[in-house]
Structure 1
Amino acid sequence: MIKNIIFIFIALVLVSCGKDSVPKPYGELRLEYPAPKYQKFENNCAYTFEYSDFAKITDAKKPCWYYLNYPKMKAKVFITYFPIKNDFVDHLKEAEKMVYEHTVKASSIDTKSFEYPEKKVFGNFYELKGQSASNLQFYATDSTKHFVTGYLYFNTRPKPDSLAPAVNYIKQDMKHLLDTFEWKN
Structure 2
Amino acid sequence: MIKKVIFIFVSMLIISCAKEATPKPYGELRLEYPAPKYQKFEPNCMYSFEVSDFAKIYDAKRPCWYYLNYPKMKAKIFLTYYPINNDFAQQIQETEKMVYKHTIKASSIDTKSFEYPERKVYGNFYELKGQAASNLQFYATDSTKHFVTGYLYFNSRPKPDSLAPAVDYIKKDLMHLLDTFEWKK
Normalising by structure 1, we get a TM-score of: 0.90
Aligned to 2:43: 43
Q: Distance in 1 between matches of 2:176 and 2:134?
A: 19
Which one-letter code corresponds to 1:9 in the other structure?
F
Alignment of 1:5-154 (within 5 A): 5=3, 9=7, 16=15, 20=19, 22-23=21-22, 25-26=24-25, 27-154=27-154
Q: Distance in 2 between matches of 1:182 and 1:145?
A: 13
**Unaligned 5+ residue runs, structure 2?**
none
* 1:117-137 Cα deviation digits (max 9, x unpaired): 001000000001111111100
Identical pairs, percent: 75
* 1:26-69 Cα deviation digits (max 9, x unpaired): 23321111111111112100100111111100000000000000
RMSD over equivalenced CA pairs, Å: 2.1
Q: CA deviation at 1:156?
A: 1.2
Q: Distance in 1 between matches of 2:10 and 2:32?
A: 48
Secondary structure of 1:99's counterpart equals helix
Question: Structure 1 8/37 Cα, relative in aligned 2: closer, same or farther at 3 Å?
Answer: farther
Which one-letter code corresponds to 2:169 in the other structure?
Y
Q: Distance in 2 between matches of 1:81 and 1:141?
A: 10
Normalising by structure 2, we get a TM-score of: 0.90
Q: Distance in 2 between matches of 1:24 and 1:70?
A: 36
Structure 2 residue 180 is matched with structure 1 residue 180: yes
Say how many residue pairs are matched. 183
* 1:86-111 Cα deviation digits (max 9, x unpaired): 11111111111111111111111100
Q: Distance in 2 between matches of 1:101 and 1:163?
A: 20
